[in-house]
Amino acid sequence: MLEKEFERFLENDPNLTGKNGIPFRLSKGRKAEEVLGVSLDTIVANDDSMYDALMKLKPLENPAHNPMQNALRKYYIFKNNREFPRLNQYKR
């Protein structure tokens, strides 16, 4: 994960409020890498890999609050300049 560049990207996100928003996303991004055993850069480089990673994280998190998935989705936007579709809308 390109932490410094990603951190600067997050600084411009109006949805991240409070002093802990950015460190929380960075922490959850690192945790997702640890859980998945692969770098976020590798995951977001391929849409099928992104979908698979989100599906692997899904059962590990509370359905109402998915911080690792959210961090991964933010990183996807950072790297690809677009949002990843909702899981139920993704087509391989």
Residue 77 contacts residue 38 (beta carbons within 8 Å): no
Q: Is residue 22 part of a domain?
A: yes
Paired tokens of 9: 């990207």
How high does pLDDT run on average in the chain?
90
Q: Is residue 19 part of a domain?
A: yes
Q: Against a cut of 0.85, is the pTM above it?
A: yes
Q: Which domain holds residue 77?
A: 3-85
Q: Is residue 92 part of a domain?
A: no
pLDDT value at residue 28: 93
Residue 40 contacts residue 57 (beta carbons within 8 Å): no
Q: How many independent structural domains does the chain possess?
A: 1
> pLDDT (tens digit, 9 = 90+) per residue, 5-37?
999 999 888 877 667 888 989 999 999 999 999
